[in-house]
Structure 1
Amino acid sequence: MKKQIFIMALAATALIACKEEKKDMDDVMDENAMETETVVEVEEEQPMTRTVSYSQEDAGTMQRDFEESVTVDQDGNVTNIKGWTVYSTVDKDITSLENANTANKMTAVQKLRTDFNSLKNSIPDYLNLRRVRRAVDDVDREISDFEELSTESNVSDRKMNRYLNNIGEAYDDLADEVARARKKYVENKEDAIEEYLEEVNDLDSGKTTEERYRDAREEYDEEMDQK
């Protein structure tokens, strides 16, 4: 009887030990599982590298942007720019400001400023050229000068009109640059696009994507004589 009790006790002890060992193994497995999940999370947070390549079809799209989006009349004046409707809005704002009476001039210049800021921040890619950007900056400067003049007292109508004319002339210059850019693009589009694509797709150069796009823009500007 004592021998049976002793054997049963040993069996119970062994069973408990097995359960404890299994529990320890389960804990280890749980810990490993948590570690694995953590590793996965870290891996998911790593930035992914994409290779972007441009084809002749993409180049054709860029060509059509300029030829189809910028409309000019027989005299070479820009009449419409698709996808940049604020260009026409600002043109109307300038006319409204020129025709506004003294009481309404401040409201008119505020609307012009708001719309022009929208224009500055939404230049289409195919128009984002040095000469166009400089013309935009010139208009911005003339509007700022007029805004500053508007805060002064006892300003003569003659001086006010001169500043208004400066805004209009600067905007006409912008229109000329847009038309000029379109003309140059149409004339040199094949060479410009070829140089642009060559730089963008030069994946063996060791350059980052940002550097390749920067160099592509420089090559493009050089071909288009926009410096």
Structure 2
Amino acid sequence: MKKIIITAMFATVALTSCNEKQEKEMEKAMEDTEQMAQDAANDVEETTEEVASYTKEKVTTMANDFESNVEVKDNKIVAIKGYDSYAMFRQDVMALPSMKEADLSNNSESLKASFNKFKASIPEYLRIDDVQDAIEDVEKELNEYESELTGEKASMKNNKENMEELQEAFDDLEEEIIEARKKYVDNKEDAMEEYMEEINSNRKQSTTQKYLDATEEYNEEMKDK
């Protein structure tokens, strides 16, 4: 309100003391100044909204990020943050060889329940084709192991062979997760390069538009993972 009153007073004084040509020039200058001020205000508002949006997106991305959540050392998975059922099922599979024969049947139900929880709670970022195929292979070997605990093929020798097949399938699953993580990290590096190129471009764009274009390039690159 103060801005409008001051502008009006300034216009009154200026228009009174100037000729018609000067009046028009003054009016035009005032209009341009008002428009520039409005554009600047709009840019600040848009930039603030975009920063808030990007921050939220970044948080979501990091919460579902191979690089930060899947810990790998010496080409082995150390842990997967927030995916406790993975660690539990892995522990159950690795414990099979030391299981007593008399306990195998009772343990079978627990193992199946552990797998079902593991499969149902898999994080969204792991729901990719190669990993899903490897999980299906694990399920196939698990079903075969369970079905042959009793019946004509039931024997400790056969059980051990099925355990080994199940463990190998799980090892293959972990290899697929590690490979998927590597691909994700590589893509992320490329995506960040694209992002920085857009941010640092010499095109005549507002800061807001540069961030929008950069984010679009980043997301497009990450879709290839």
Normalised by the length of structure 2, the TM-score is 0.58
The 1:179/1:185 distance shift into structure 2, 3 A limit, reads same
Structure 2: how far apart are the matches of 1:177 and 1:191? 21
Matched ranges for 1:169-184 at <5 A: 169-184=168-183
Structure 1 or 2, whichever has the larger Rg, is: 1
CA displacement at 1:56 relative to structure 2: 6.9
Which residues of 2 match residues 64-75 of structure 1 at below 5 A? 65-73=65-73, 75=74
- Written as runs of structure 1 = structure 2, the 5 A alignment for 1:205-224 is 223-224=224-225
5 Å matches for 1:132-147? 132-147=131-146
Q: Distance in 2 between matches of 1:69 and 1:85?
A: 12
Q: CA deviation at 1:151?
A: 2.4
Residues 219/128 of structure 1: CA separation in 2 closer, same or farther (3 Å cut): farther
Q: Could you tell me whether the CA contact under 8 Å between 2:75 and 2:178 is conserved in 1? A: yes
Contact persistence 1:93–1:112 (CA under 8 A): yes
1:128 aligns to 2:127 (yes or no):
yes
2:101 alignment counterpart: 102
Amino acid of the residue matched to residue 76 of structure 2? N
Distance 1:190-1:144 versus aligned 2 partners, 3 A rule: same
What residue number does 2:185 align with? 186
Residues 63-99 of structure 1, C-alpha deviations (whole Å, 9 max, x = no match): 56221111011x2111100111111111111122221
Q: CA deviation at 1:59?
A: 4.7
Correspondence list, 1:51-66, <5 A: 55=54, 58-59=57-58, 61-63=60-62, 65-66=65-66
SS in 1 for 2:180: helix
Tell me the CA shift for residue 179 of structure 1: 1.0
Q: Is contact 1:97-1:109 (8 Å) kept?
A: no
Matched with 1:15 is none
Q: Which runs of 5+ in 2 are unaligned?
A: 1-52, 195-219
**Does structure 1 conserve the Cα–Cα contact (< 8 Å) formed by 2:187 and 2:222?**
no
**Partners of 1:114 and 1:170 in 2: CA distance:** 18
SS at match of 1:150: coil
CA distance in 2, matches of 1:56, 1:189: 17
| Unpaired stretches in structure 1, ≥5 consecutive residues | 1-53, 195-217
Q: Give the aligned length.
A: 147
* Change in 2 beyond 3 A, CA 1:121/1:70: same
In 2: Cα distance, 1:83 partner to 1:68 partner: 11
Q: Which amino acid aligns with 1:68?
A: S
Q: CA 1:56 to 1:130, structure 2 compared with 1: closer, same or farther past 3 Å?
A: farther
Q: CA deviation at 1:124?
A: 0.5
The question of whether the paired residues in 1 share the 8 Å contact of 2:137 and 2:169 is answered with yes
- Shifted more, 61-70 versus 123-132: the winner is 61-70
Amino acid at match of 1:130: D
Contact 2:149 2:155 (C-alpha < 8 Å) held by counterparts: no
Is the partner of 2:82 in helix, strand or coil?
Answer: coil
Distance 2:128 2:164 in 1: 25
Q: Distance in 1 between matches of 2:175 and 2:68?
A: 17
Distance in 2 of aligned mates of 1:123 and 1:91: 13
In structure 2, relative to structure 1, the CA distance for the partners of 1:162 and 1:108 (3 Å cut) is same
Match of 2:5 in 1: none
Aligned counterparts, 1:198-209, within 5 A: none
1:77 corresponds in structure 2 to: 76
